[in-house]
Every structure is written in structure tokens, then in C-alpha cells.
């Protein structure tokens, strides 16, 4: 089967063996898959590993076959994949054996995938295949960061730096649908306009502006940041005393300077978050179904052009998700 793999230090299209279902697995014929920033880092992490690895965490398709012990799904079911592996119930942190689909396990950038039935859910009816294919990782990450870790309540103000990224767009959409006030930023004029007009953000600032001055009349209850060193202290400076700061990534440097005295006098809550459980995944799907939410989809590439999709994502030109059409 046609697959996009990391093989001997290179990202390339390669013919890989078609999978068969083990007793608790389903084989899914994939229609669309979605890129995430995580995919960009795998080449550096694996370096020159000889064994080919199929990349990709997000995907949606049709159940082609089932293992003998599968009870939740049947052939022909339209399904979406949960890439948060082996994390069943909502908990303060993932279990020891938690992984993300796409490394070390084979991922979704292929015509088919075999995966445990616990990692699969029925596709929400209102979503197209394109939308379902790019949903899971970023939407689950946003859902846990906002509702579980951020403990968001209707009427609160959330600050989300970096409008345009996959998780950031979900955060804005989710917060607005849940009755929040949203402030976001971007250094790109077009992205600032889209964040306001398409996603419904209430205030959109330039990345290079003086955030403290611009928001001096605002009360920011929650900051949700994935950028890291470049924005951490600037974001903390506009958070209300006693507010919650949720970190779920670090696209700039991992290590940040922190004024401890300012932090403990402000009695801030700093909370880490990553991905989410199966329980949260199902709650997230119910939420988007009830609210009629669609992912913000920027661009779709054919599987043969996966390298072009990677280059596009690496340049950070996208507003929302980047997808792959598998077939």
C-alpha cells in the first residue's frame, strides 16, 4: 500500500505491506489524514533509522475488516482515529505506557491502518471526510487544555497567543462556543483578520505590540500558550492575579526565565497539558457535534505531495489545519 514514511533519514513515498487486524483491532481504509507540528520533528528524532516508519497521527476512513474480539465496530462503519494511545480515563497525567500514534507505531499517512478498537470512534455525521481527517490530535489537545486543565467557565476571558496554528484555532473556536471572551495574537495581518472574522476572536493583537498596554483594561482569567520562551513572560504579565496559565507545547525554546517572587506573589497557577484521554476524546466529539463545530481547514495535499505539505507546514503559512487526501 502507498505510504509516506521516514526511511533511512529521508521522508518519502514507499510501498508498505497492507496491515491485517489482530483480535482487538480494526483495519481502516483511510480517506484523509492531518498534519501536525509533531510530524515535523520526527525526521530529526529518528535520524538514520533504517526501518521505515509510516508517519501521521490524524486520520478518518471506513472500517474494512475487524478482529475476532472487536465489539464496537463493523465493516463499513465511518470512523475517526484517536491518536492518544492507551490513555482511557481522564486523569491528572497520562499513564506510563502512553504514546502518540505515528511514532513509534505506524501512523495514518497510508492507504490503511490497523489499530485497536479503543482508539476509534464513529465519525460525527456533520463532518466531511476532509474535516474528520484533520480533527483529532489538535482538537483533543485544545479540549483538555481549555476545559480539563484550564477549568474554563462561561464568561471567562482566555488569552491564546499565536492565532493560525492548528490547536490555537480549535482553542478559539471552543472558547467562543462555550461562551468565552477570546484574545489572540499574530504577527501576520491576514491571520489577525481571519482570527476575528472567521473564528470570532474578540481582540486580536499584533505579536510585536505592547500587550500589557493594549490589555490594561482587560481581565485575563486563563492563558493557554504553546510557544514557549518567546511569549511565556509576556503572556504571564497580562494574566490576572490568581489566574491559570496552561502550557501544552514549546515551539520556541523550552527553557524560560521566571521571576519567582512575581509568580508566588501573584499566586498564579501554572499547569502542564498534553493530548488527552479517550474519555475526553469522546466528550470532545460530543461537544463539536452538539455545537456544529467544524475544523478550520487551510489546505489539502494529495498523499503523493506529502513533502510539499510538510514544507508548507514548516513555513507556518497556514491558518488552521493542513490535510492529506489519501484516496
pLDDT in tens, 192-230: 999 999 999 999 999 999 999 999 999 999 999 999 888
Please give the Cα distance from 325 to 302 (Å, whole number). 5
Sign of CA dihedral 42, 99, 164, 271: negative
Sign of CA dihedral 211, 217, 218, 223: positive
User: In sequence order, what are the residues at sequence separation of 6 or more whose Cβ sits closer than 8 angstroms to the Cβ of residue 198?
Assistant: 296
Superfamily holding 151-272: NAD(P)-binding Rossmann-like Domain (3.40.50.720)
**Confidence band for 44, pLDDT divided at 50, 70 and 90:** confident
User: In sequence order, what are the residues at sequence separation of 6 or more whose Cβ sits closer than 8 angstroms to the Cβ of residue 290?
Assistant: none
Q: Where in the chain are the domains?
A: 2-137+276-325, 151-272
Q: Whole-model pTM?
A: 0.96
Q: Which of 181, 223, 224 is nearest to 202 (CA)?
A: 181
> Is the pLDDT reported for residue 165 higher than 90?
no
Say if strands 181-186 and 157-160 run parallel, antiparallel, or are unpaired.
Answer: parallel
Q: Quick one: cell of 10?
A: 529521508
Q: Which of 74, 59, 57 is nearest to 21 (CA)?
A: 74
pLDDT in tens, 129-157: 999 999 999 999 999 999 999 999 999 99
In sequence order, what E strands does 104-156 have? 112-116, 120-122
Question: For the chain, how long is the longest CA-to-CA vector?
Answer: 62
2-137+276-325 folds as Quinone Oxidoreductase; Chain A, domain 1 (3.90.180)
In percent, the amount of the chain with pLDDT more than 70 equals 100
- Looking at residue 46, what is its pLDDT? 92
pLDDT in tens, 259-308: 999 999 999 999 999 999 999 999 999 999 999 999 999 999 999 999 99
Neighbours of 93 (CB within 10 A): 10
pLDDT in tens, 95-114: 999 999 999 999 999 999 99
User: In sequence order, what are the residues at sequence separation of 6 or more whose Cβ sits closer than 8 angstroms to the Cβ of residue 41?
Assistant: none
Interhelix angle 306-314/37-46, rounded to 10 degrees, is 100
- Contact of 227 with 251, CB cutoff 8 Å: yes
Amino acid at each position: 500500500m502507498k505510504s509516506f514514511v521516514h526511511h533511512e533519514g529521508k521522508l518519502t513515498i514507499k510501498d508498505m505491506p497492507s496491515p491485517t487486524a489482530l483480535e482487538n483491532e480494526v483495519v481502516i481504509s483511510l480517506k484523509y489524514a492531518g498534519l501536525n507540528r509533531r510530524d515535523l520533528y520526527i525526521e530529526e528524532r529518528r535520524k538514520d533509522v533504517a526501518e521505515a516508519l509510516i508517519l501521521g497521527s490524524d486520520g478518518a476512513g471506513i472500517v474494512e475488516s475487524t478482529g475476532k474480539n472487536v465489539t464496537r465496530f463493523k465493516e463499513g462503519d465511518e470512523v475517526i482515529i484517536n491518536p492518544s494511545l492507551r490513555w482511557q480515563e481522564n486523569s491528572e497525567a497520562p499513564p506510563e505506557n502512553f504514546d502518540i500514534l505515528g511514532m513509534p507505531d505506524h501512523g495514518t499517512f497510508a492507504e490503511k491502518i490497523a489499530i485497536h478498537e479503543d482508539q476509534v470512534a464513529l465519525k460525527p455525521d456533520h463532518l466531511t471526510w476532509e474535516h474528520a481527517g484533520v480533527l483529532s490530535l489538535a482538537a483533543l489537545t485544545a479540549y483538555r487544555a481549555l476545559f480539563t486543565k484550564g477549568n474554563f467557565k462561561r464568561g471567562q476571558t482566555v488569552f491564546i497567543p499565536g492565532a493560525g496554528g492548528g490547536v490555537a484555532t480549535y482553542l478559539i473556536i471552543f472558547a467562543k462556543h462555550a461562551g468565552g471572551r477570546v484574545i489572540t495574537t499574530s504577527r501576520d495581518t491576514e491571520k489577525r483578520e481571519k482570527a476575528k472574522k472567521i473564528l470570532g476572536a474578540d481582540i486580536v493583537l499584533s505579536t510585536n505590540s505592547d500587550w500589557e498596554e493594549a490589555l490594561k483594561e482587560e481581565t485575563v482569567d486563563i492563558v493557554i500558550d504553546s510557544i514557549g520562551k518567546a511569549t511565556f513572560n509576556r503572556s504571564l504579565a497580562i494574566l490576572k492575579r490568581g489566574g491559570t496559565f496552561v502550557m501544552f507545547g514549546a515551539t520556541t525554546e523550552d527553557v524560560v526565565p521566571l521571576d519567582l517572587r512575581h509568580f508566588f506573589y501573584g499566586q498564579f497557577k501554572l499547569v502542564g497539558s498534553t493530548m488527552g484521554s479517550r474519555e475526553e476524546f469522546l466528550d470532545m466529539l460530543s461537544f463539536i457535534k452538539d455545537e456544529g463545530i467544524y475544523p478550520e481547514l487551510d489546505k489539502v495535499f494529495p498523499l503523493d505531495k506529502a513533502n510539499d505539505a510538510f514544507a508548507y507546514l514548516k513555513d507556518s503559512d497556514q491558518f488552521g489545519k493542513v490535510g492529506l487526501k489519501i484516496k
